[in-house]
Amino acid sequence: MAVMLMSALWVAPPGLVSALETRVSRPRRPAAALPRAAVACSAASDDGGGGGGGGAPDERGGESDALAAFRKQLQRQMSGEGGASASPLGRAGPADLWASPRDSIEPGVVLLADYTRWVENKARRSADVPFDQFALRGPLPADLPPDMVARVLPVVILLAKGADGSHDALLLERRTGILLGDIKGNEYACAPINALLFGGTAARESVQVLAQYEGRAAPAGLTSLSPGIGFGPWSVAKQHIEQGTISGSRSFVFAGKTVFGKGELERQMAADLWKAAYLSRDVLFKERSEPSMRKGSIPLWREALELCDGEHAQVVKELYGDEL
Q: What domains appear along the chain, each with residue ranges and CATH number?
A: 1-87+98-324 (3.40.1740.10)
Is residue 43 within 8 A of residue 182, CB to CB? The reply is no
**Residues whose CB is less than 8 angstroms from the CB of residue 267 and which lie 6 or more positions away in sequence, other chains included:** 128
Q: What is the pLDDT of residue 75?
A: 45
The answer to which of 181-195, 261-275, 287-301 has the lowest mean pLDDT is: 287-301
Is residue 251 within 8 A of residue 212, CB to CB? The reply is yes
Is residue 171 within 8 A of residue 154, CB to CB? The reply is yes
Closest by CA position to 171, among listed 141, 131, 140, 142: 131
Q: Give me the mean pLDDT over the 148-156 stretch.
A: 95
Closest by CA position to 199, among listed 229, 176, 226: 176
Residue spans of beta strands (DSSP E) within 110-251: 110-113, 155-161, 167-171, 175-179, 195-198, 202-212, 223-226, 229-233
Q: What is the pTM of this model?
A: 0.75
Is residue 323 within 8 A of residue 179, CB to CB? The reply is no
**Other C-beta atoms within 10 Å of 216: how many?**
8
Is residue 182 within 8 A of residue 171, CB to CB? The reply is no
CA distance 70 to 51: 17
Residue 173 backbone class (left: φ over 0; alpha: ψ -120 to 50; beta: rest): left
Which residues on adjacent β-strands are paired with residue 274? 113
- The pLDDT tens digits for 114-126 are 998 998 876 566 6
Q: Classify residue 305 as exposed, middle or buried by CB count within 10 Å of its CB (0-12, 13-18, 19+).
A: buried
Give DSSP secondary structure letters for 283-307.
HHT-----TTS-TTPPPHHHHHHHH
Which residue did the predictor score with more confidence, 103 or 44?
103
Q: What is the pLDDT of residue 266?
A: 96
Question: 291 falls in which pLDDT band (50, 70, 90)?
Answer: low
Which residue did the predictor score with more confidence, 288 or 66?
288
CA distance 128 to 141: 17
Answer yes or no: is pLDDT of 51 > 70: no
Helix or strand holding residue 7 (H, E): helix 2-9
